[in-house]
Amino acid sequence: MNELHYRITRRVSECISHANLTLNTDFAVPAIRFDIRGKTAGMALLQRWQLRFNPVLLAENPDAFLEEVVPHEVSHLIVFARFGRARPHGKEWQAVMSQVFDVQPKTTHSFDVKSVEGKTFSYHCQCDVIPLSVRRHNKVQRQQVQYMCRRCKQPLVWKPSTP
């Protein structure tokens, strides 16, 4: 385990302990993995009582992970344990974030994700050029889906670049 993984693991334990004290509960420390890829910073697997974190974004934004991402994900677990299925960023989650952890309940991060962006394919419509991920591009190529522009409502069409 590297230093950042250790710090995140310790911060998760601190958040759980603080929640247990504040809410008079006895939640266990969740399992923790550092294996998310892509643009997602963290993820709570509710029924597995597990947290996953993106090691690349963690290395680039350690303070924000400790101060915001960890309480964000721990809050999801606590809401699930106390209320069962609830809206992911609903009033219960917002209350845990603000009242238990004293963290502004933001639903998404604002990290620079250039280092974790994958290859994209340029799709065109009447009003714009829109990059699609490899996964979405492959779905279009297999004719499983057709994406539409949100502005002009026209289908997105891939025009391969010529060498």
CB atoms within 10 A of CB 135: 9
Span between the terminal Cα atoms of the chain, in Å: 45
Question: Rg of the chain's alpha carbons, rounded to an integer?
Answer: 20
Euclidean distance between CA atoms 149 and 154, whole angstroms = 5
Nearest 5°: CA angle at 41, between 37 and 42? Answer: 100
Do the annotations mark residue 72 as ligand-binding?
Answer: yes
Residues belonging to the active site: 73
What angle is formed at CA 147 by the lines to CA 142 and CA 149, rounded to 5 degrees? Answer: 155
5 annotated ligand binder: no
Strands (E) located in the chain:
31-33, 42-45, 50-53, 120-124, 129-133, 157-158
Tell me the sheet residues that pair with 122. 131
Residue numbers in the known binding site for Zn(2+) are 72, 76
Residue numbers in the known binding site are 72, 76
